[in-house]
Structure 1
Amino acid sequence: MRLTSLLPLAALASLSTAQSKGCGRALPCSFPEAGTSHNLTLPGTDRRYRLYIPANYDKNKPTPLYFSFHGATRDMLEEEALSQFSNPQFNPNGIAVYPDSTNGYWLSNPNADLSRPNDLDFTNDLLDHMEENLCIDKSRVYSAGKSNGGGFTSVIACNATVGSRFAAFASVSGAYYDTDETEGIGPCEPAEREEGYPFLEFHGTADTTAPIDGNTEKNAKLPVIDFLHGWAARNGCGDNARWARNETVFVKPLVKHASWDCDGKKEIVQHYRESENGHCWPSTVGNDDYPEHADQCPLGKSPYNATEYIFEFFAGYRLNL
């Protein structure tokens, strides 16, 4: 009996294109067992990363891949605990990778190490390495980060070479430096693509590390609204972009949700603004941000989990390969 596919030929072609070279290969012996995490070094470099493989990983099934970048002075271990991207409650099916910076800072921060390979090259090479050794769905690769890591996620999106490989982006309490003249970055010029650049941003109004209204000090950080308007403009909303909606989602503490519809792409840029909390990764149970930033996180928890919202946002986007 001849078997026929229920999928149209165009869909089959898309699935084939999205499948990485690592499909069908056994896990490398250095990689963690399914359901666990492990510290690794990118071959040929001294750059470290932590890798999580989900318990249900199937070498023959293309799997989404999530990058999670740590904040300034932090590291990959802290970022795994903070973002919870290895928690099956939030991420039951995806691979998570936690890159480590060379000196505690990512490109865009004035203290970043610009030595070999730089952070954009490292990210691109690490993604190559993941796709060569694991069964990755290349249409579902995503980037998120906290603070300096959130700012670096935007730097990735701005880079035509690296950013074009990621389907969507998220930043928590991001530090958005004015990078037009920063060595190793250049202006924000993402590659043109019909899917646009979906961006989700979280910020507390009491943030003094990365103030929501920016600052004018040396190494100034941009106001979050300017940062959001920038991504709305790049997604086709124009230079005078205004949100399509700005709604209250929680009352105590007050949490507002704004979103932009650009060039036919509904809610492609989104922002959650939380009163009373500051430089925190929102969580209903709390995390180490709360003791580490006790002065900025007085509530001890938030009415929502940023990680849950990030994965829901990412699920709505994939690349057209």
Structure 2
Amino acid sequence: MKRWIGCVVGTSAILAWLAAFQTVSAQMYKDLHSKLEKRVYKNAEGETLPYRLWKPENYDPNKKYPLIIFLHGAGERGDDNEAQLKNDEFLTLVLDPQHPAFLIAPQCPRNSWWAGLRRQADSSQPWPNELTRPMKLVIELFDQIRKELSVDPDRCYVTGLSMGGFGTFDLLLRRPHDFAAAVPICGGGDTSRAKEIAHIPMWIFHGGADPVVPVSLSRAMVEALKKAGGKVRYTEYPGVGHNSWSRAYQEPELREWLFQQVRSGSGESSGS
């Protein structure tokens, strides 16, 4: 199937066809993995971070494109530069030819975390403000990619699932004026600091029966953001366990909503 499509209709036609459907087959996602270039970021201290890069079809360096950062969950940690694509429904975000964009998917090392907070049932507990080495490298990579490629600085987005959901909130708190929108899935954040990121439009997702990351963490963050005047949407799937990302990334309105968000010159975001 992959060979026939590649030979006859080409990548552009594949993307156009996939974009017409809200549900994409698992094999179709897998067939797109080869389009994500394998790279390794290395800083001046010799620290490295493997990542995959998706470039817009027919990339024109004279144009500016949105950038999406995807942060995977704890089960995909490692150094093979492959596992972070396991839950690949996030690729739905870049399948529409009407919204060409860059996407970077870094891989967190084993026994490491995107955020200092792993998970906790009681959101009233003090939240650690530790900058983990992987998150430090993600921030450095983010800065490098914006210099290397033709990225629209007003259309940078971050999304993540589970451990990556925590990482999404952590990255926003560390770079509160760099992102136009965020999509945290089955994660959690520091509610005491919600005001610092309330200006960033967010669409938060969680399964109502999540046995791994308590849904109370997303509920508490949504409440805190709303109290701070935040532009937040929240979707909770009743009876759904930890895997809420498969449904979230295929929400019919998500892609259009995301690309409508634009950061203003003040560092705040517009849209809803």
Normalising by structure 2, report the TM-score: 0.68
Cα-to-partner distance string for 1:259-305 (whole Å, 9 max, x where unaligned): xxx5xxxxx2001111222111444xxxxxxxxxxxxxxxxxx5x75
| 1:131 counterpart SS class | helix
Q: Which residue of 2 aligns with 1:52?
A: 54
Look up the match of 1:166.
Answer: 179
The Cα shift of 1:84 comes to 3.4
Deviations along 1:109-138, whole A, 9 cap, x unmatched? 3499x78x7344323211111111110001
Counterpart among 268, 272, 279 of residue 242 in structure 2: 279
The 8 Å contact of residues 191 and 224 in structure 2, kept in 1 or not, is answered as no
Question: Percent identity among equivalent residues?
Answer: 22
Equivalences, count: 214
Aligned to 2:269: none
**Counterpart of 1:56 in 2: which secondary structure?**
coil
Structure-2 change in CA distance of 1:85 and 1:134 (3 Å): farther
Give, in angstroms, the shift of residue 188 of structure 1. 5.5
AA in 2 matched with 1:84: E
3-state SS of paired residue (1:166): coil
Q: Give 2:133's aligned residue.
A: 118
CA–CA distance in structure 1, aligned partners of residues 163 and 149 of structure 2 = 28
Equivalent in the alignment of 1:41: 40
SS in 2 for 1:164: coil
Aligned to 2:100: 93
**What is the rounded CA distance, in whole Å, between the counterparts of 2:91 and 2:249 in structure 1?**
14
The Cα of 1:206 is off from its aligned counterpart by: 1.4
Q: Distance in 1 between matches of 2:184 and 2:243?
A: 12
Matched, 1:225 2:222: no
Aligned equivalents of 1:202, 1:150: Cα separation in 2: 9
Distance 1:305 1:46, change over 3 A: closer
Q: What's the secondary structure of 1:232's corresponding residue?
A: helix
What is the root-mean-square deviation of aligned Cα atoms in Å?
2.9
Distance 2:191 2:138 in 1: 18
CA offsets 1:177-206 (integer angstroms, 9 cap, x no match): 6687xxxxxx566379xxx11111111111
Partner AA of 2:171 in structure 1: I
Distance 1:148 1:191, change over 3 A: closer
Q: What residue ranges of structure 2 are gaps of 5+ in the alignment? A: 1-33, 120-127, 266-272
Residues 1:139 and 2:154 are matched in the alignment: yes
C-alpha spacing 1:80/1:310, structure 2 compared with 1 (3 Å): farther
Q: Distance in 2 between matches of 1:270 and 1:70?
A: 21
Counterpart Cα distance in 1 of 2:139 and 2:245? 29
Identify which of structures 1 and 2 has the higher relative contact order when contacts are C-alpha pairs closer than 8 Å and 6+ apart. Answer: 2
The answer to whether residue 74 in structure 2 is matched with residue 69 in structure 1 is no
Of structures 1 and 2, the larger Rg is shown by: 1
Q: Give the counterpart letter for 1:229 in structure 2.
A: E
TM-score by length of 1: 0.59
Aligned to 1:204: 207
Q: Could you tell me how far apart the structure 2 residues matched to 1:179 and 1:120 are? A: 20
CA distance in 1, matches of 2:96, 2:40: 26
Is the Cα contact below 8 Å between 1:108 and 1:177 reproduced in 2?
no
1:170, 1:310 within 8 Å by CA — same for their partners in 2? Answer: no
Hey, what's the Cα distance between the residues in 2 that align with 1:275 and 1:203? 9
Using the TM superposition, give the Cα deviation of residue 90 of structure 1 relative to its aligned residue in structure 2, in angstroms.
4.7
Question: Structure 1: where are the runs of 5+ without partners?
Answer: 1-34, 181-186, 214-221, 237-261, 263-267, 284-301
Confirm whether residue 105 of structure 1 aligns to residue 113 of structure 2: yes
Question: CA 1:189/1:121 → structure 2, altered by over 3 Å: closer, same or farther?
Answer: farther
1:222-301 aligned at under 5 Å gives the runs 222=217, 224-234=218-228, 236=229, 268-283=231-246
| Cross-structure match for 1:80 | 85
The secondary structure found in structure 2 opposite 1:165 is coil
